Amino acid sequence: MNDSHSIPSTGDHTPGTGDHAVVVTRVSDTEWHAMDGDQVVGCGDASVRPDGRLFVGIDAWHGEVFARVAEAMTADLPAPLYAVADETDRDSVSAWQRAGFTTVRREWGYVVPTDPQVTGLGPVRPPAGVVVVPVGQAEEAPLRALDQVLHAEIEAGPGWQAMPAQVLPCPAGTTVVDPSKYAVARQAGRYVGLLRLAPLTRQPRIGLIAVRADLQRHGIARALLADTLDALHRRGTASVWAEVTESNAAATALFEGIGARRAGSTLEFVRR
């Protein structure tokens, strides 16, 4: 883990669960194990996201073990701590709430069709003077320059806490890990918008669509989406996955306007 995001280390925690003594031990900077004798009955992990927030995760079969691991992690780590859970997993949601975490936002998961006859994006063309560069063909230097501009604009506006929680892990100071996963919009020799596509085998995932603040509401995001979905459709991909923060009315309208179907939701929690 990068030194600028180091996580301090402390000791062990030995709680009891009924007739069993469960020992929770920090086994590394980022991992905790709950042991019942020589058996691992639960584990926790911590990771710092590119925006600097510290996220924790816990895997345990029993609620009492979850609570013990959470107790150890919250004692060891500096606040605030963040976590995510599938909203339909009521046991996990309740476990985080019992551990002192509160819900701060909801993220909708969408299944997005690619067929232009379904999305209605077939006739969509970029605005005058704008060219869409397909996924995999963006030049690295101007892409990174645009990404830095967008990060600064988002941070000055809603902040990265309003962006999808499932962000790409990357080294400190780096936001574009793989330039081949981006489509971009180019105007007058500079990149002005981008779309990140994770080309997963089962179902590709749109991770981010963003346009420079001074060029928003001109149809650039819609053109990026139209070009990318059409290319996927021609390759035989029927749908993609996307996440949209509930409070992002513009993104919600964009996806629901092309026939995207809500297929899940994720809650983000914080303990301050």
Q: Are 72 and 119 members of one domain?
A: no
Q: Are 136 and 194 members of one domain?
A: yes
Identify whether 184 is part of a domain: yes
Identify whether 26 is part of a domain: yes
Is a pLDDT exceeding 50 seen at residue 6?
Answer: no
Q: Are 12 and 140 members of one domain?
A: no
Q: Are 124 and 60 members of one domain?
A: no
Q: Are 63 and 116 members of one domain?
A: no
Q: Are 175 and 66 members of one domain?
A: no
- Sign of the C-alpha dihedral, residues 20, 25, 27, 33? positive
Q: Are 257 and 145 members of one domain?
A: yes
Q: Are 135 and 205 members of one domain?
A: yes
- Residue 165 has what pLDDT? 46
Q: Are 74 and 117 members of one domain?
A: no
Least confident of 112-126, 172-186, 243-257: 172-186
Amino acid at 198: A
Identify whether 98 is part of a domain: no
Confidence of residue 176 (pLDDT cuts 50, 70, 90): low
pTM (2 decimals)? 0.77
Q: Are 67 and 126 members of one domain?
A: no
Identify whether 182 is part of a domain: yes
CATH of the domain at 242: 3.40.630.30
Amino acid at 62: H
What percent of the chain shows pLDDT beyond 70?
A: 85
Task: Report pLDDT digits (tens) over 41-69.
Answer: 999 999 998 778 999 999 998 999 999 99
Domain ranges, residue 73: 3-78
Q: Are 126 and 228 members of one domain?
A: yes
Is a pLDDT exceeding 90 seen at residue 4?
Answer: no
Q: Are 215 and 259 members of one domain?
A: yes
Per the structure, how many domains does the chain have?
A: 2
- Residue 201 has what pLDDT? 72
